[in-house]
A and B are shown apart, each in its own frame.
Chain A
């Protein structure tokens, strides 16, 4: 054993860990799917408001949530089968996704339907929740950009308070673009280069 061999062994360890990390952090399609789904749900909501079918709004959201959860389950299963590897990050993200889904559904659908608070509060709570989701994801994947996204979502929540309740959901669109798609594209191009 000499110094060169020792360095080669350490390099091999680093290379194997990095290859595994890169193979398991490319979840772009999944993230973009959720972003587009939320934008469509908001569009659907405003269309229903425009045609004055207010009582269908919660059905609209419920339908998109069900589609999102069904796709998530399908995606996770497909990803695990395709990759042939199960990482600690994947396990943590799965737990976080379940916890946040419970939060989104209870705070965004169940509690307002039970009349616990007015509908105008929902976008603010959703933004806070999205911020928590991104912050923890940033910690798991060690992406500071995702933590910055979290800050954008939290700022967005404060910004919503300044608007009349019926326009608060519209803030989601710039939030999704600035705090979701843009960092997603930056990170994707970064990984494609590396």
Chain B
């Protein structure tokens, strides 16, 4: 039964950094790379890999631009990402309810 519940959780979101990044993007319209890095508490390379995975899955959109002469990467959640996050959250809650029973 545990494995059934576990399989319901989206493997793309089931990672600390990706989950943290999605949680932030869920509550804002957009966030830049540095903000995500600072809030999640990770390194450039690590976050970059995880954001790429989220982008490949269509969960976030990544826009690259310039702020002055510095490159600026802005991320925002897509509709698909919102749905996936909510489904993941429900999955976690279901799991907890199941454990209590």
Identify the A interface with B (CB < 8 A): 1, 3, 6-7, 9-10, 12-13, 16-17, 19-21, 23-24, 81, 83-88, 90-91
Contacts and interface: CB of A to CB of B under 8 A. Distances in A.
**Which of A3, A13, A87 has the largest count of B CB atoms less than 10 A from its CB?**
A13
Interface in B23-62: 23-24, 26-35, 38-40
Contacts of A88: 27-29
Interface of B: 2, 5-6, 9, 16, 19-20, 23-24, 26-35, 38-40, 67, 89, 92-93, 95-96, 99
**Which of B6, B27, B31, B32 has the largest count of A CB atoms less than 10 A from its CB?**
B27
Contacts of A85: 24, 28, 30-32, 35
Nearest to B23: A16
A7 B2 contact: no
Contacts of B30: 85-86
Nearest to B93: A10
B9 A86 contact: no
20 contacts: A1-B5, A3-B95, A3-B99, A6-B95, A7-B96, A10-B92, A10-B96, A12-B16, A12-B20, A13-B19, A17-B27, A19-B39, A20-B31, A24-B28, A81-B67, A84-B34, A84-B35, A86-B28, A87-B27, A88-B27
Contact of B24 (A9, A10, A16, A91): A16
Contacts of A3: 95-96, 99
Contacts of B92: 6, 9-10
Contacts of A20: 24, 27-28, 31, 39
A84 B31 contact: yes
A12 B99 CA distance: 19
A104 B96 CA distance: 51
Nearest to A14: B23
B29 A87 contact: yes
